[in-house]
Amino acid sequence: MSQTAESSIGSLNPLDELNGLRLSQKALPLLEHVKAFIAQTVEPAYAEYLEAGKDHKDRWSFAPGQLEALQKAKDKAKEEGLWNFFLPDADTGEGLSNLDYAYIAVELGKNPLASEAMNCSAPDTGNMEVLERVGTPEQKQQWLEPLLAGEIRSAYAMTEPDVASSDARNIHTSAVRDGDDWVINGEKYYISGAGDPRCKILIAMVQTDPDAAGSGKHSQILIPTDTPGYEVLGPMEVFGHDHAPRGHMHIKFTDVRVPYSNVLLGEGRGFEISQVRLGPGRIHHCMRTIGKAEVALDLMVKRGMSRMAFGQPLAKLGGNLEKISRARIEIEAMRLMVLKAAKAMDVLGNKEARVWVSMVKAMVPEKACQIIDQAMQIHGATGVSQWSPLSGLYTDVRHLRYADGPDEVHHMVVGRHELSQH
Amino acid sequence: MSQTAESSIGSLNPLDELNGLRLSQKALPLLEHVKAFIAQTVEPAYAEYLEAGKDHKDRWSFAPGQLEALQKAKDKAKEEGLWNFFLPDADTGEGLSNLDYAYIAVELGKNPLASEAMNCSAPDTGNMEVLERVGTPEQKQQWLEPLLAGEIRSAYAMTEPDVASSDARNIHTSAVRDGDDWVINGEKYYISGAGDPRCKILIAMVQTDPDAAGSGKHSQILIPTDTPGYEVLGPMEVFGHDHAPRGHMHIKFTDVRVPYSNVLLGEGRGFEISQVRLGPGRIHHCMRTIGKAEVALDLMVKRGMSRMAFGQPLAKLGGNLEKISRARIEIEAMRLMVLKAAKAMDVLGNKEARVWVSMVKAMVPEKACQIIDQAMQIHGATGVSQWSPLSGLYTDVRHLRYADGPDEVHHMVVGRHELSQH
Amino acid sequence: MSQTAESSIGSLNPLDELNGLRLSQKALPLLEHVKAFIAQTVEPAYAEYLEAGKDHKDRWSFAPGQLEALQKAKDKAKEEGLWNFFLPDADTGEGLSNLDYAYIAVELGKNPLASEAMNCSAPDTGNMEVLERVGTPEQKQQWLEPLLAGEIRSAYAMTEPDVASSDARNIHTSAVRDGDDWVINGEKYYISGAGDPRCKILIAMVQTDPDAAGSGKHSQILIPTDTPGYEVLGPMEVFGHDHAPRGHMHIKFTDVRVPYSNVLLGEGRGFEISQVRLGPGRIHHCMRTIGKAEVALDLMVKRGMSRMAFGQPLAKLGGNLEKISRARIEIEAMRLMVLKAAKAMDVLGNKEARVWVSMVKAMVPEKACQIIDQAMQIHGATGVSQWSPLSGLYTDVRHLRYADGPDEVHHMVVGRHELSQH
Amino acid sequence: MSQTAESSIGSLNPLDELNGLRLSQKALPLLEHVKAFIAQTVEPAYAEYLEAGKDHKDRWSFAPGQLEALQKAKDKAKEEGLWNFFLPDADTGEGLSNLDYAYIAVELGKNPLASEAMNCSAPDTGNMEVLERVGTPEQKQQWLEPLLAGEIRSAYAMTEPDVASSDARNIHTSAVRDGDDWVINGEKYYISGAGDPRCKILIAMVQTDPDAAGSGKHSQILIPTDTPGYEVLGPMEVFGHDHAPRGHMHIKFTDVRVPYSNVLLGEGRGFEISQVRLGPGRIHHCMRTIGKAEVALDLMVKRGMSRMAFGQPLAKLGGNLEKISRARIEIEAMRLMVLKAAKAMDVLGNKEARVWVSMVKAMVPEKACQIIDQAMQIHGATGVSQWSPLSGLYTDVRHLRYADGPDEVHHMVVGRHELSQH
**Is D278 found in the same domain as D416?**
yes
* CA distance to partner chain A, nearest, from residue C123 (Å): 26
pLDDT, one tens digit per residue, over B114-144 is 999 999 998 999 999 899 989 999 999 999 9
Taking the C-alpha atoms of residue C187 and residue C349, their distance in angstroms, rounded to an integer, is 33
In whole angstroms, give the CA distance from residue A362 to residue D43.
53
The whole-angstrom separation of Cα C128 and Cα C258 is: 20
Q: What is the DSSP string of D328-393?
A: HHHHHHHHHHHHHHHHHHHHH-TTTTHHHHHHHHHHHHHHHHHHHHHHHHHHTHHHHSTTSTHHHH
Residues C256, C229: contact at Cβ < 8 Å?
yes
How confident is residue C74, by pLDDT bands cut at 50, 70 and 90? Answer: very high
Asked whether residue C236 falls in the same domain as residue C275, the answer is: no
Rounded CA separation A203/A131 (Å):
10
- Residue A200 CA to residue A147 CA, distance in Å, equals 10
Is C237 in a helix, a strand, or coil?
A: coil
pTM of the model: 0.93
Same domain, D395 and D318: yes
Q: Which whole number is the average pLDDT over C175-182?
A: 97
- Strand A199-207 to A153-157 pairing: parallel
Q: Are D145 and D201 in contact (CB under 8 A)?
A: no
pLDDT (mean) for D39-51: 94
Chain C residues touching A31 at Cβ < 8 A: 14
**Could you give the ipTM of this predicted complex?**
0.91
Pairing of strands D181-192, D248-259: antiparallel
Contact residues, chain A, for B237 at CB < 8 Å: 240, 384-386, 391
**Closest D-chain CA to B335:** D333
Answer whether A305's CB lies under 8 Å from C422's CB: yes
Q: Angle A270-306/A390-400 helices, nearest 10 degrees?
A: 150
Looking at the complex, report in whole angstroms how far the Cα of residue A283 sits from the nearest Cα belonging to chain B. 20
Cβ contacts of C159 within 8 Å, gap of 6 or more: C165, C188, C189, C190, C191, C403, D380, D381
CA-wise closest residue to D169 among C309, A239, A57: C309
DSSP string, B115-175: HHHTT--TTHHHHHHHHHHH--HHHIIIIIHHHHTTS-EEEEE---TTS-TTSGGG---EE
Do residues C336 and A333 touch, judged by C-beta distance below 8 A? Answer: yes
Q: Cis omega (within 30 of 0) on the bond before B406?
A: no
- Taking the Cβ of residue C386 and every Cβ of chain D, the question of whether any pair is shorter than 8 Å is answered with yes
SS3 D34: helix
Q: Domain check: are B306 and B416 in the same one?
A: yes
C318 interaction partners in chain B (CB closer than 8 Å): 318-319, 321-322
- The alpha carbon of residue C333 is apart from the nearest alpha carbon of chain D, in Å, by 24
- The bridge status of strand A181-192 relative to strand A248-259 is antiparallel
Provide the shortest C-alpha distance from residue C242 to chain D (in Å): 8
Total count of domains within chain B: 3
Dist. CA D73–CA D89, nearest whole Å: 23
In a domain, C6, yes or no: no
Identify which of C161, C309, C402 has the shortest CB distance to residue D167: C309
Taking the C-alpha atoms of residue B132 and residue B126, their distance in angstroms, rounded to an integer, is 10
Please indicate whether, in this complex, the C-beta atoms of C401 and D309 are within 8 angstroms of each other.
no
User: HSE (CB half, 13 Å, CA atoms) of C168?
Assistant: 24
Mean pLDDT of all residues in D384-412:
93
Spatial distance between the Cα atoms of D415 and D192, rounded to a whole number of angstroms: 30
In a domain, A8, yes or no: no
pLDDT over 80 (residue A279)? no
Residues B214, B272: Cα–Cα separation, whole Å: 12
A10 touches chain C (CB under 8 A): yes
Find the largest Cα–Cα distance for chain D: 78
**Cα angle: D48, vertex D53, D59; to 5 degrees:** 150
Task: List the one residue out of D40, D27, D125, D48 whose CA is nearest residue D77.
Answer: D40
Nearest CA in chain A to B171: A309
Q: Of A131, A148, A165, which residue constitutes the final position of a domain?
A: A148
Chain D residues near residue A311 by CB distance under 8 angstroms: none
pLDDT at C90: 59
DSSP structural state of residue D142 = I
Contact yes or no for A143/A154 (Cβ under 8 A): yes
pLDDT, tens digit (0-9, with 9 covering 90-100), for C101-117: 888 998 888 888 999 99
| Residue pairs spanning A and D at CB distance below 8 A | 10
* AA letter at A212: A
Same domain, B387 and B251: no
The answer to whether residues B325 and B410 belong to one domain is yes
What gap in Å lies between CA A365 and CA A374, rounded to an integer? Answer: 14
Residue D118: partners with Cβ closer than 8 Å, 6 or more residues away: D34, D37, D74, D77, D82, D83, D84, D85, D108
**Which string of DSSP letters, residue by residue, matches A145-210?**
HHHHTTS-EEEEE---TTS-TTSGGG---EEEEETTEEEEEEEEEEEETTTSTTEEEEEEEEES-T
Cis previous bond, D112, omega within 30: no
Listed in order, strand segments (DSSP E) in A4-152 are none
- Rounded to the nearest angstrom, the gap between the alpha carbon of residue D129 and the centroid of all alpha carbons in its chain is 14
Element (H, E) at A259: strand A248-259
pLDDT for B92: 62
pLDDT at position D15 is: 42
Q: Which residues contact C67 (CB under 8 A, 6 or more apart)?
A: none
Alpha carbons C52 and C68: distance in angstroms, whole number: 10
Q: Does B310 touch chain C (CB under 8 A)?
A: no
The C-alpha of B376 sits at a distance from chain A's nearest C-alpha, in angstroms, of 10
| Residue A320 forms part of a structural domain | yes
> Are the C-beta atoms of residues D203 and D130 closer than 8 Å to each other?
yes
Question: Are C237 and D384 within 8 A, CB to CB?
Answer: yes
Question: Please, which chains are in contact with B (at least 3 CB pairs closer than 8 A)?
Answer: A, C, D
Residue of B nearest to A319 (CA): B408
Q: Do B97 and B210 sit in the same domain of this protein?
A: no
CA distance A379 to B163: 10
Q: Find the closest chain B residue to A58 by CA distance.
A: B57
Which chain A residues are within 8 Å of B399, Cβ to Cβ? 381, 384
Which pLDDT score, from 0 to 100, does residue B274 have? 87
Q: What is the pLDDT of residue A352?
A: 81
Distance CA A17, CA B371 (A): 43
CATH number, domain with residue A49: 1.10.540.10
Q: Which of D54, D58, D52, D51 is nearest to D235 (CA)?
A: D58
Confidence of residue C93 (pLDDT cuts 50, 70, 90): low
pLDDT reported for residue D12: 35
**Does some domain include residue D148?**
no
Residues C300 and C351 in one domain: yes
Share of chain A above pLDDT 90, in %: 72
Picking from C244, C264, C284, the residue at the C-terminal end of a domain is C264
The confidence score (pLDDT) of residue A25 equals 83
Closest CA to B233 of B255, B211, B248, B218: B248
Residues 126-145 of C with CB under 8 A from B: none
- Asked if C240 and D239 come within 8 Å (Cβ–Cβ), the reply is yes
- Taking contacts as CB-CB distances below 8 angstroms, the residues of chain D near A319 are 318-319, 322
- C401 contacts in chain D (CB < 8 Å): 377
Query: Chain B: nearest CA to D103, how far in angstroms?
Result: 14
Residue B298 has pLDDT above 60, yes or no: yes
Q: Which of B325, B413, B419 sits opposite D362 (nearest CB)?
A: B325
Task: Summarize pLDDT for D192-210 with one digit per residue, the tens.
Answer: 999 999 999 999 999 999 9
Q: Tell me: do D279 and D408 sit in the same domain.
A: yes
The predicted-structure confidence for B316-368, as pLDDT tens digits, reads as follows 999 999 999 999 999 999 999 998 888 888 887 888 788 999 999 999 999 99
D145 domain residue, yes or no: no
Q: Do A321 and D318 touch (CB under 8 A)?
A: yes
* CA end-to-end span of chain B: 46
pLDDT in tens, D263-313: 999 999 999 998 877 778 888 899 899 989 999 999 999 999 999 999 999
CATH, residue D310: 1.20.140.10
Most confident of A240-249, B117-126, C267-276, D365-374: D365-374
First to last CA, chain A: 19
Q: Which domain range does residue C74 map to?
A: 17-148
pLDDT tens for each residue of D137-166: 999 999 999 999 999 999 999 999 999 888
Examine the domain organization and report whether B254 and B308 are in the same domain: no
- C62 DSSP 8-state letter: P
Of D161, D240, D403, the CB nearest to C395: D240
> Which of B329, B335, B355, B407 would you mutate first to test chain D, the one with the most D CBs within 10 A?
B329
pLDDT for B96: 87
Q: Per residue in D233-253, is it b (16+ CB within 10 Å) or e — as a string? A: eebbbbbbbbbbbbbbbbbbb
Q: State CA B248 to chain mean position distance.
A: 13
Based on the fold, state whether residues C238 and C121 are members of the same structural domain.
no
Structure confidence at residue A93 (pLDDT): 59
> Count of CB contacts below 8 A, C vs D?
138
| Residue C336, amino acid | L
Q: Nearest CA of chain A to the CA of B243: how many Å?
A: 10
The identity of residue C42, as a single letter, is V
pLDDT (average), residues D27-52: 93
Residue D139 in domain: no
- 8 Å CB contact of C411 and A325: yes
Most confident of A45-59, A86-100, B94-108, D21-35: A45-59
Find residue A265's DSSP bridge partners: none
Same-domain pairing of A300 and A285: yes
Q: How far are the Cα atoms of C315, D326, D336, D366 from residue D286, in angstroms, in the given order?
A: 27, 19, 11, 11
- Average model confidence (pLDDT) for chain C? 90
Taking only the tens place, the pLDDT of each residue in D305-350 is: 999 999 999 999 999 999 999 999 999 999 999 988 888 888 878 8
| Domain final position from C130, C148, C166 | C148
- Of the candidates D50, D39, D49, D52, the one whose C-alpha atom is nearest the C-alpha of residue D82 is D39
Q: Assign A92 a pLDDT band (cuts: 50, 70, 90).
A: low
Q: Are the beta carbons of D348 and B4 closer than 8 angstroms?
A: yes
B103-107, B158-162, B185-189, B255-259: which range is least confident on average?
A: B103-107
Q: Is the residue at A4 inside a domain?
A: no
pLDDT for the residue numbered B90: 59
Query: Which candidate in A312, A316, A317, A322 is best for mutational testing of the D interface (most D CBs within 10 A)?
Result: A322
**Within-domain flag for C192:** yes
Nearest-by-CA chain C residue for B319: C319
Q: What's D177's domain CATH number? A: 2.40.110.10
Residue C236, helix vs strand vs coil: strand
d(CA B363, CA B359): 6
For residues C214-229, b (16+ Cβ closer than 10 Å) or e, as one string? eebbbbbbbbebebee
According to DSSP, residue D82 is labeled: -
